[in-house]
Structure 1
Amino acid sequence: MPQPYDVITMGRIGVDLYPLRTGVPLARVDTFGKFLGGSATNVAVAAARLGRRAAVVTRTGRDAFGDYLHQALRDFRVDDRWVTAVPGLPTPVTFCEIFPPDDFPLYFYRQPKAPDLELRAEELDMEAIGAARVFWMTGTGLCAEPSREATLAALGHRAKSGTTVFDLDWRPMFWEGSTGTAADEARPHYARALAQATVAVGNLEECEIATGEREPHAAARALLGAGVELAVVKQGPKGVLAVRRDGTTAEVPPVEVEVVNGLGAGDAFGGAMVHGLLAGWELERVMRFANAAGAIVAARLACSSAMPYAAEVDALLDGRAPGPEPCPDPASGADGNPGPAAAPGGAS
């Protein structure tokens, strides 16, 4: 069998169209940048930037935007072998408005249905998913069939082996809420996933959706009670709380930066957390590194192309500036860097 992947993520993909000017409402924006997007996909990019062997399981439309996403994944050194096309469904597009420091409205165009929700259990490479050192899935993958069944089947196949991360990833607009509110519909599916995951990560709202608890320590206890071994509660300006089942706790304050666009910070955090867990670092070091990675992306305009290298994260933790945001350059890859050999930092 080929060497296992460090991380396989499963979930959303799409094209992000971001204004190239901040503080301007969408109705007045006249120039946009085009970027690879989608939470699970961004996490894979973030891990790859840190030297990890990463792949993503998702679906696109059979269209020009789908072709672009394949090329972008390859440029970021993320394996796209499990990114397949769905005839008749367009590749999703997401617009945003950027009003720093904390207002970033999102506009998702995923109609009539997002291709990434057409993932099917019988089409998954369960051998690769089971062998991956880390498997990362998201709450969005539970919002509709057949993606829900496929996601739960992947979790069941993992059987808590290795590190299995549930990114709570709450997007209420993706849930139909036919039997009540979107939260009412989501909770039982979240509970099934938590019972099969080893790590849960989410912000306060996401933790409340999953557990009914919003106070950070209570939310962490509830996530552990639901079945995971490590609960990570992101608290925005108050930092992050991480608690293991054995009682090991890390409370890490945020890294202060001038926020430009906070939308990709959580995905950078996720990819960096994966990197730290794979490296076997102690919990506080993992959280500090992940916090710093998220801060770097929050200080940049883009998401995927803004993901930092390890040396940039280390520089910020050492009190030094991590450097300017990479500029896209098709001649040298999606982010203006010539490839892994030029990426600072190593992987353990």
Structure 2
Amino acid sequence: MGYDLITMGRIGVDLYPLQTGVPLSEVTSFGKFLGGSATNVAVAAARLGRRTAVITRTGDDPFGAYLHEALRGFGVDDRWVTPVPGLPTPVTFCEVFPPDDFPLYFYRRPKAPDLEIEARDLDLDAIRAARIFWVTGTGLSEEPSRAATLAALAHRAGAGVGPTVLDLDWRPMFWRDPESARPFYTEALRYATVAVGNLDEVEVATGVREPHAAARALLDIGVDLAVVKQGPKGVLAVGRDGEQAEVPPLPVEVLNGLGAGDAFGGSLCHGLLAGWDLDRTVRHANAAGAIVASRLECSSAMPTPREVQAALDEGAVR
């Protein structure tokens, strides 16, 4: 049996402070969680009942062992999660200053194992057979991950398979500058059928920030669906076929905004797999993201179908 969703990209250990509104220098206790954008998307979709797997790499260390255990606990297939001897599993810290300030501190030195994914090690048949394949912009930031990401995308292109999603996932600390990133984003977008990003990310990818113009620029590059997350203004989704949805955010008391985008991504995949119309898909994804924003953690905060439906029925996250 094939996979509903295979994601490829970052994994790591999130160490989140158990005190909010406190700078990292004064935090006294932390919670340990599975993290990494592509990994969280796989977890989010698994929580919604989808069969998922992630392609990534960890260190050959106790944190790597923890990540395998966590993935299996969430129902995500870890068969393509392999160790890289000599490189430590990445750790990410954050500070939590609700409602909208959540600085991230990535410890990915000398190099993150998830950037050591090799094209020759990919199960291209499984990638091609997946109903949805999801990659991230971070995977384009260094070799050999860049070549592996583009090889996987190229293998699906023109095959008449399901959606191929590029999460723009712009992290400035992984690149020299936006101009150095844009050519690789452009190449990846030519293979992808869906692009997802916030205003900063679509501007890096296209040079355009205005949401409707950015969506059009993404469609012009070659995708069939452009999803532009606008923060407090909600989400704009525009399809090549003319279908469009602009959905306001769901009211929520934000505790930690990190991970909300990954919940959105997993739910977006769920809606695409279900064949829902664009408006329903984006509303469901918005609700999933809002639920995670109301919780401290990321992976373990991903909502169930019942929780998403309850938020939609109430019109807010309680």
The question of a shared fold, defined as TM-score above 0.5 by the shorter chain, is answered with yes
Q: Is the 8 A contact 1:17 1:93 kept in 2?
A: yes
1:197 matched to which residue of 2?
192
Aligned length: 316
Q: Is the 8 A contact 2:230 2:236 kept in 1?
A: yes
Identity rate of aligned residues, in percent? 75
TM-superposed deviation, 1:321: 7.2
Instruction: Summarize deviations over 1:202-261 as a string: whole Å, max 9, x none.
Output: 000000000011000000000000100000000000000000001110000000000000
1:127 matched to which residue of 2?
125
Structure 1: 4+ residue segments shifted above 3 A:
320-323
- Within 5 Å, give how 1:145-224 maps onto structure 2: 145-160=143-158, 161-175=161-175, 177=176, 182-224=177-219
2:279 matched to which residue of 1?
284
TM-superposed deviation, 1:263: 0.5
Mapped to 2, the partners of 1:321 and 1:113 lie a distance apart of 41
1:27 matched to which residue of 2?
25
Instruction: Summarize deviations over 1:7-26 as a string: whole Å, max 9, x none.
Output: 00000000000001110000
Residue 308 (1) aligns with residue 303 (2): yes
Question: What SS does the aligned partner of 2:285 have?
Answer: helix
Q: Is the 8 A contact 1:312 1:322 kept in 2?
A: no
TM-superposed deviation, 1:157: 0.3
Counterpart residue identity of residue 200, structure 1:
A
Unaligned 5+ residue runs, structure 2? none
Residue 295 (1) aligns with residue 293 (2): no
Mapped to 2, the partners of 1:158 and 1:263 lie a distance apart of 30
TM-superposed deviation, 1:199: 0.1
Identify if the C-alpha distance between structure 1 residues 192 and 20 changes in structure 2 by more than 3 Å, giving closer, same or farther.
same
Question: What SS does the aligned partner of 1:213 have?
Answer: coil
Question: What SS does the aligned partner of 1:195 have?
Answer: helix
Aligned partner (choices 259, 274, 277) of residue 269 of structure 2: 274
Mapped to 1, the partners of 2:127 and 2:88 lie a distance apart of 27
Instruction: Summarize deviations over 1:293-345 as a string: whole Å, max 9, x none.
Output: 0000000000000000011000000007767xxxxxxxxxxxxxxxxxxxxxx
Mapped to 2, the partners of 1:140 and 1:65 lie a distance apart of 21
Q: Is the 8 A contact 1:58 1:82 kept in 2?
A: yes
TM-score by length of structure 1 reads: 0.90
Unaligned 5+ residue runs, structure 1? 324-348
Mapped to 2, the partners of 1:188 and 1:321 lie a distance apart of 40
Mapped to 2, the partners of 1:320 and 1:154 lie a distance apart of 39
